[in-house]
Structure 1
């Protein structure tokens, strides 16, 4: 499952490092190419909302393998896409796979391992995410420059095929159980702290992805990087994620959750603006990219902790709602940044993203709005 997560995340965000060649080859603007991130986000939202009620009728093993097959089909279609329309269709398939697999992953782990092994098992799942985040973009940028962007996506096909065979051999049968109705998931939004939390989640992730999706055109235009230099910068951003994750875990252990939720988006906004200011020189871009990667990686850890703390009575519904909110934010962020890029300048997506991050911090405030009311 961790291997599949790594493939899903690598496939979802690979266009970030290949935006320019994809746009050139398919005769699209870079802003249009960035919508490949948005379309997968849209379908991931739909999948995360509907997968639990639908999958409850089938063996969980077969459902997870179906999501992997969708991933495989999407990669083949992307590698062979003759035009922009086919690329978007393929990315829609990918979105369903991402939303469906992620939404079911935690509940599946709970069925696969003993209770005392759940934290370790979930850690393995998120390690697949961290590894893909660290290496997919730089490796994609380098190989895309050498072999072409189609080869990069095609190269993932045999890896996903191996993973599918591995799943068939290793995943046990998991017969269907009682499903969670949609009303319970959306009913959580009637809780004021949950509604505000999800709004803050969306602003935070939309701000981050408005900037992140369009780092390549900015770095090519303002910093003057080639494919090799871009790979180095993206690798530093990815590796910084391990630093940020460790930092967040340490601070959360000291009970600084609400301070982190407030100040991390502000710090990320400041670094994003710093990249705009210092990005004309390579060393400045490198420092800002490393800092950006560390701060950005710390944010999901904090929101996952908030989810576990404030929605203890409905963890599965809360998890589905969180996945949907994040993917909707990714879709909006990619679309928002793409419009700014096409209509204004290559730096506009960074400025727009920083603005959304600031709004998120203002909404969170001192954290009181995110706390469930005390039970009398």
Structure 2
């Protein structure tokens, strides 16, 4: 009789699995908070009597504050505990969302969104960094996909409820919903903290923060990788912020329908996360980067130029699947950027990505005043195709170099 197979030395404990689930809820809420204003822009423009380029500050200024705070939260998470900092951040987001719902004018709403971003900045990067600390690299990309499932669900929920509640109860109720969601997640994380064991410190003590930045600045791969994160934020998240406005203005569909259509982007990403184990083994990092970028780009070419808005439904789904392939690869590489100070490394990645998002939203919103939205979305789609091809080649070259030095 064969003895039962012994568990894998890298198997996840029930406590770790539950923590990953709760972190997924936190990342879901964080991403929903970022995307919930996307379908609101036309209504906020009407209510506050301001152009789209001005009301888009509720998105772009959020992203700027979010990106800048990464330099703060990386070292803080490494020092005081990543899950604890995430829990405190969800409390701050709950308060900020409540204040957003009570905003009386656009400047106050923008200011509160910036304040909320200061808290939200901790959630996603520190969640990913915590996974990097407790999960072996062999299984890390698959595990990151589980956390990413919450992120993609957040994109769907933000786009869908942002449009639906704006069209029905009013945009303030969307922020009230976010306040309740964050309050729930913070309570669950607070309960979970008592069950977590401290993460073992790295084999060698990390060097000072500014010395870490110096190491990144002198590392060619790190410079290339962070530059790609900047471009990803500008091209992918930038265009996502204006897609609902494009569908609403060009095809004259309601904000609910426009938000629901762009919400399929998140469902496409969730489909990838559900099949990540198979997809990762089938394509590998190089293939995920290449076909993910090309899938996103081709889908947005259809969204940009199709005369039938109905084709945006499957296109948003395909774009979400392609984005998740590309971004999940970027996340896995980010956890290895500074292995001795993983919170700082992942936070640098997130900081560059959201700095790119803020620049992308500002630039694309301004271009809307001078060019047609189809031409803007089309140019952005081609840029993402090129980004996927570049990343795939960069990873292949780095893997070959590492193999030669092994």
What TM-score range do you get, normalising by the shorter chain?
0.7 to 0.9
The superposition leaves residues 214-260 of structure 1 with CA deviations (integer Å, 9 ceiling, x where unpaired) of 11221112222123432441343322222333566534313532233
The answer to whether residue 374 in structure 2 is matched with residue 347 in structure 1 is yes
The superposition leaves residues 182-209 of structure 1 with CA deviations (integer Å, 9 ceiling, x where unpaired) of 3214522322122112212322331112
The answer to whether the Cα contact below 8 Å between 1:2 and 1:125 also exists between their aligned partners in 2 is: yes
The answer to whether the Cα contact below 8 Å between 2:238 and 2:360 also exists between their aligned partners in 1 is: yes
The answer to whether the Cα contact below 8 Å between 1:261 and 1:361 also exists between their aligned partners in 2 is: yes
The answer to whether residue 241 in structure 2 is matched with residue 219 in structure 1 is no
The answer to whether the Cα contact below 8 Å between 2:36 and 2:158 also exists between their aligned partners in 1 is: yes
Match of 2:61 in 1: 39
Distance in 2 (CA, whole Å) between partners of 1:204 and 1:75 is 27
Match of 1:187 in 2: 215
Distance in 1 (CA, whole Å) between partners of 2:153 and 2:319 is 17
The superposition leaves residues 70-95 of structure 1 with CA deviations (integer Å, 9 ceiling, x where unpaired) of 21222122112222221221121222
**From 365, 389, 400, the counterpart of 1:338:** 365
Q: CA RMSD in A?
A: 3.3
Alignment of 1:1-376 (within 5 A): 1-55=23-77, 58=80, 63-108=85-130, 124-172=146-194, 181-246=209-274, 249-254=277-282, 256-278=284-306, 280-308=307-335, 315-361=342-388, 363-364=390-391, 366-367=393-394, 368-371=396-399, 373-374=401-402, 375=405
In structure 2, do the counterparts of structure 1 residues 114 and 181 end up closer, same or farther at CA, with 3 Å as the change threshold? same
In structure 2, do the counterparts of structure 1 residues 290 and 14 end up closer, same or farther at CA, with 3 Å as the change threshold? same
The superposition leaves residues 80-122 of structure 1 with CA deviations (integer Å, 9 ceiling, x where unpaired) of 2222221221121222222222232244457789999988875
The answer to whether the Cα contact below 8 Å between 2:36 and 2:162 also exists between their aligned partners in 1 is: yes
Which segment drifts farther, 253-262 or 332-341? 253-262
The answer to whether the Cα contact below 8 Å between 2:96 and 2:113 also exists between their aligned partners in 1 is: yes
In structure 2, do the counterparts of structure 1 residues 293 and 123 end up closer, same or farther at CA, with 3 Å as the change threshold? closer
Distance in 1 (CA, whole Å) between partners of 2:142 and 2:296 is 29
Return 5+ residue gaps in structure 1 as ranges: none
1:150 Cα shift?
1.0
Distance in 2 (CA, whole Å) between partners of 1:341 and 1:44 is 24
Which segment drifts farther, 127-136 or 57-66? 57-66
The SS at the match of 1:214 is helix
Return 5+ residue gaps in structure 2 as ranges: 1-22
Which segment drifts farther, 105-114 or 141-150? 105-114
In structure 2, do the counterparts of structure 1 residues 210 and 148 end up closer, same or farther at CA, with 3 Å as the change threshold? same
The answer to whether the Cα contact below 8 Å between 1:337 and 1:353 also exists between their aligned partners in 2 is: no
In structure 2, do the counterparts of structure 1 residues 68 and 232 end up closer, same or farther at CA, with 3 Å as the change threshold? closer
TM-score, L = length of structure 1? 0.86
The answer to whether the Cα contact below 8 Å between 2:273 and 2:324 also exists between their aligned partners in 1 is: yes
In structure 2, do the counterparts of structure 1 residues 369 and 93 end up closer, same or farther at CA, with 3 Å as the change threshold? farther
The answer to whether the Cα contact below 8 Å between 1:200 and 1:364 also exists between their aligned partners in 2 is: yes
1:148 Cα shift?
0.8
Distance in 2 (CA, whole Å) between partners of 1:258 and 1:282 is 33
The answer to whether the Cα contact below 8 Å between 2:164 and 2:255 also exists between their aligned partners in 1 is: yes
Distance in 2 (CA, whole Å) between partners of 1:372 and 1:37 is 40
The superposition leaves residues 152-203 of structure 1 with CA deviations (integer Å, 9 ceiling, x where unpaired) of 1112222222223333333238889877523214522322122112212322
The superposition leaves residues 285-310 of structure 1 with CA deviations (integer Å, 9 ceiling, x where unpaired) of 22322222221222211212334567
